[in-house]
C-alpha cells in the first residue's frame, strides 16, 4: 500500500526499525530484502505516486510530475542537462529499460578499492535474481525500429561489435513514450516489481515525503525530519520518523545533498565529490526518402560495444546507442537555433539519432546552495571531450556505412559532415559549456564505496564511515563511472548492501 501526502491530515510521526529514503532501484531493493527478513521497514519518497492511468503521454504534463525539478536541472555552467526521476519507483519509471549486468572489468576495478564480495561469480547470483524479478529479456533484431536498425546495419558493415539490448519489459507495445512513463505497465520499473514485493513482506511506502535533515549525535542516527507535500507539491505538514537504521537511496545528486545538509561526519571529505555524469551527446544521420521516424517503437534498442572499455577493453571508452524520445524530448538533441532548428525538426522523420555515451574519467562535485538545494559543478574535461569527439566520429562512420547522406553532431552551431573524408571538420568543433548538447541520465559516485576511510565516503557495507547506522544504497556508491547503462548495477549494489543489512539484523 502506498500512502499519498494528500491523504495525511496533521503532522506525520512514525517509528520503524529500518527507514529507507528513496524508492528507486536502490531503495526498493533494500526495502524488499529487509522486509523479507522480518524487519519493520518504512520507505519515504519525495516524489508522487503516479500509476499508469495517470500517465497522459503529454510531455508538458509528465516531465513536471516524474522528474526532479521538472527535468530542468543543469550543471552550474549550464553545460549539461541532468535528468533523474522523482516519483515512486525513481528513475526506473522514466528510463529506457536498458539492462547491463555490471561488466567483469568494472567489477574488478571496483573490487580493487577494497570492496569484497564483488567478484563476477557472486554478482552473477544477484543479477540472475534481478533478471527474474524484472522480467529481463534480449530484444530480437526483428523488434528494433528503423532508428536502431540503421545503427546496427552500419556497425555490421564495418565489422564492429554490437548487440540489441536486454530490457525489463512485459508485453511492450513500442508506444515511444518510455521517457515520460509507461501508460501500459509494460515497463517493469521498481514501482511494479521490487516495491510491491517489499509491500507483500510488510514494508510501508509513503509518497510525497521530503526529508530535509537526518538527525544524529555525531556517532549514531536517530531518525529524520522533513515535510509532507500536498497535491499542489507545497508543504502541508511536518514529518518526523524515528529509526534504528537509515538507508539513503535518493540518487547520486540528492543523496549527497541530504548528507551534506545534515552535517554528517565525513573524514574523507568525499561526500558530494567524485561526481560522474556519464554524459551523452547526439549524432544524427540523415536518410532522405526513408521513413525512419525515430520517435516511435522501442526507442533505445541497440548499442555499438566496439569502443567500450568495460565491454571490449577499448581506450576511447564510449558506447554509441540508438536512442530517441517523444517529439518534444527529441527536439532537445536536434542541433541549431531558430530557423535551423525548425528545419531540423521538419526533417526528423528521415533522421536516425544516436547518443554517444561517454564513460567520463574526470569527475565533478556537488555543494549546497544557500537554500540547501544541490549546486552541481561539472565541466567536460578536455581529455573526456576528445574521447567524445572520437566516439562521435565512429558513430558518423556507422551511419555513412548504413547509407546516410549527411550527419550532424549536437553542436549549437550546426556541424555537418557529408562523407567520412570530412570527419576532420569535427576537429575544430568546441566542447565548451553551451556549445554542444550534453545530457546526463546516469549520475554516480558521490558517496563512493571502498575500504579506506580517508579516501571513501562509505565502507564496503555501504555504511557512512563516521556513523554506526547510516547507509547508502544507490549509484552514489560507484567508485567510478560505469560506462554502461547503470540500472542493473544499482539493483546489484543495493542487493549486496541489503543482504548485509538483513544478515546483521
CATH of the domain at 324: 3.30.410
What does the H/E/C string look like for 247-305?
EECCHHHHHHHHHHHCCCCCCCCCCCCCEECCCEEEEEEECCCCCCCCCCCCCCCEEEC
Q: Among all residues, which ones are annotated catalytic?
A: 442
Residue ending a domain, choose from 437, 465, 480: 437
Rounded mean pLDDT, 254-258: 98
Q: What does the alpha-carbon distance between residue 490 and residue 475 come to, in Å, rounded to a whole number?
A: 6
- Domain shared by 99 and 239, yes or no: yes
Residue 201 grid cell:
513482506
Rounded mean pLDDT, 385-398: 98
- Domain shared by 165 and 219, yes or no: no
- Domain shared by 259 and 336, yes or no: no
DSSP 49: P
Q: What does the alpha-carbon distance between residue 330 and residue 324 come to, in Å, rounded to a whole number?
A: 6
Residue ending a domain, choose from 420, 437, 454: 437
- Domain shared by 38 and 87, yes or no: yes
For the chain, give the mean pLDDT: 97
Does residue 45 lie in a domain region? yes
- Domain shared by 401 and 420, yes or no: yes
Q: Is the pLDDT of residue 334 over 90?
A: no
- Domain shared by 130 and 235, yes or no: yes
Does residue 448 lie in a domain region? yes
- In this predicted structure, what is the pLDDT of residue 413? 86
Does residue 370 lie in a domain region? no
Q: How confident is the model at residue 97 (pLDDT cuts 50, 70, 90)?
A: very high
Does residue 462 lie in a domain region? yes
The pLDDT tens digits for 187-246 are 999 999 999 999 999 999 999 999 999 999 999 999 999 999 999 999 999 999 999 999
The pLDDT tens digits for 436-452 are 999 999 999 999 999 99
CATH of the domain at 125: 3.50.50.60
User: Range of 453's domain?
Assistant: 2-135+179-275+442-503
Residue ending a domain, choose from 394, 422, 437: 437
Number of domains in the chain: 2
Does residue 487 lie in a domain region? yes
Q: Is the pLDDT of residue 73 over 90?
A: yes
Q: Is the pLDDT of residue 330 over 90?
A: no
Q: Is the pLDDT of residue 171 over 90?
A: yes
Does residue 374 lie in a domain region? no
Q: Is the pLDDT of residue 159 over 90?
A: yes
Closest CA to 145 of 283, 20, 298, 16: 298
Closest CA to 347 of 429, 398, 388, 406: 406
The pLDDT tens digits for 201-218 are 999 999 999 999 999 999
Q: How confident is the model at residue 465 (pLDDT cuts 50, 70, 90)?
A: very high
- Domain shared by 342 and 264, yes or no: no
Handedness of CA 57, 61, 66, 72 (dihedral sign): positive
- In this predicted structure, what is the pLDDT of residue 35? 98
- Domain shared by 470 and 393, yes or no: no
- Domain shared by 252 and 319, yes or no: no
- Domain shared by 301 and 345, yes or no: yes
Q: What are phi and psi of 395, to 5 degrees?
A: -65, -40
- Domain shared by 355 and 424, yes or no: yes
Does residue 202 lie in a domain region? yes
- Domain shared by 418 and 446, yes or no: no
Q: Is the pLDDT of residue 337 over 90?
A: no
Does residue 372 lie in a domain region? no
Q: How confident is the model at residue 414 (pLDDT cuts 50, 70, 90)?
A: confident
Amino acid at each position: 500500500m502506498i500512502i499519498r501526502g494528500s491523504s495525511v491530515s496533521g503532522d506525520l510521526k512514525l517509528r520503524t526499525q529500518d527507514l529507507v529514503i528513496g524508492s528507486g532501484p536502490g531503495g526498493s531493493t533494500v526495502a524488499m530484502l529487509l522486509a523479507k527478513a522480518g524487519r519493520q521497514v518504512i520507505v519515504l519518497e519525495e516524489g508522487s505516486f503516479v500509476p499508469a492511468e495517470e500517465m497522459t503521454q503529454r510531455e508538458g504534463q509528465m516531465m513536471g510530475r516524474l522528474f526532479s525539478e521538472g527535468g530542468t536541472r543543469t550543471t552550474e555552467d549550464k553545460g549539461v542537462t541532468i535528468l533523474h526521476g522523482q516519483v515512486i519507483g525513481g528513475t526506473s519509471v522514466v528510463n529506457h529499460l536498458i539492462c547491463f549486468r555490471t561488466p567483469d572489468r568494472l567489477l574488478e576495478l571496483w573490487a580493487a578499492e577494497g570492496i569484497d564480495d564483488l567478484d563476477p561469480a557472486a554478482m552473477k547470483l544477484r543479477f540472475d535474481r534481478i533478471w527474474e524479478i524484472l522480467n529481463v529479456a534480449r530484444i530480437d533484431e526483428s523488434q528494433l525500429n528503423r532508428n536502431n536498425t540503421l545503427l546496427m546495419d552500419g556497425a555490421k558493415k564495418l565489422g564492429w561489435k554490437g548487440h540489441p539490448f536486454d530490457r525489463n519489459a512485459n508485453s511492450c507495445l513500442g508506444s515511444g513514450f518510455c521517457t515520460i512513463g509507461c501508460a501500459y505497465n509494460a515497463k517493469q520499473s521498481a514501482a511494479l516489481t521490487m516495491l510491491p514485493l517489499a509491500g507483500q513482506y510488510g514494508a510501508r511506502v509513503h509518497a510525497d515525503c521530503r526529508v530535509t535533515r537526518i538527525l544524529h549525535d555525531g556517532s549514531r542516527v536517530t531518525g529524520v525530519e522533513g515535510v509532507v507535500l500536498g497535491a499542489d507539491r507545497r508543504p502541508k505538514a511536518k514529518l518526523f520518523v524515528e529509526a534504528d537504521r537509515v538507508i539513503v537511496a535518493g540518487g547520486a545528486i540528492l543523496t549527497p545533498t541530504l548528507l551534506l545538509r545534515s552535517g554528517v561526519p565525513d573524514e574523507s571529505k568525499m561526500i558530494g565529490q567524485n561526481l560522474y555524469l556519464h554524459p551523452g551527446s547526439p549524432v544524427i544521420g540523415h536518410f532522405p526518402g526513408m521513413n525512419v521516424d525515430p520517435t516511435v517503437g522501442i526507442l533505445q534498442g541497440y548499442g555499438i560495444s566496439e569502443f567500450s572499455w568495460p565491454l571490449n577493453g577499448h581506450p576511447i571508452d564510449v558506447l554509441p546507442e540508438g536512442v530517441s524520445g517523444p517529439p518534444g524530448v527529441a527536439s532537445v538533441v536536434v542541433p541549431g537555433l531558430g530557423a535551423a532548428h525548425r528545419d531540423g525538426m521538419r526533417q526528423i522523420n528521415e533522421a536516425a539519432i544516436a547518443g554517444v555515451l561517454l564513460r567520463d574519467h574526470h569527475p565533478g562535485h556537488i555543494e549546497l546552495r544557500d537554500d540547501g538545494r544541490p549546486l552541481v559543478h561539472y565541466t567536460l574535461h578536455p581529455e573526456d571531450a576528445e574521447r567524445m569527439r572520437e566516439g562521435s566520429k565512429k558513430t558518423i562512420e556507422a551511419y555513412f556505412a548504413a547509407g546516410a547522406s549527411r550527419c550532424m553532431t549536437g553542436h549549437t552551431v550546426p556541424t555537418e559532415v557529408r562523407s567520412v573524408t570530412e570527419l576532420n571538420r569535427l576537429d575544430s568543433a568546441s566542447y565548451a559549456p553551451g556549445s554542444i548538447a550534453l545530457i546526463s541520465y546516469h549520475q554516480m559516485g558521490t558517496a563512493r564505496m571502498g575500504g579506506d576511510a580517508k579516501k571513501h565516503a562509505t565502507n564496503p557495507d555501504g555504511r557512512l564511515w563516521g556513523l554506526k547506522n547510516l547507509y547508502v544504497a544507490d549509484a552514489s556508491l560507484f567508485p567510478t563511472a560505469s560506462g554502461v547503462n547503470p540500472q542493473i548495477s544499482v539493483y546489484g549494489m543495493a542487493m549486496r548492501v541489503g543482504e548485509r543489512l538483513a544478515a546483521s539484523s
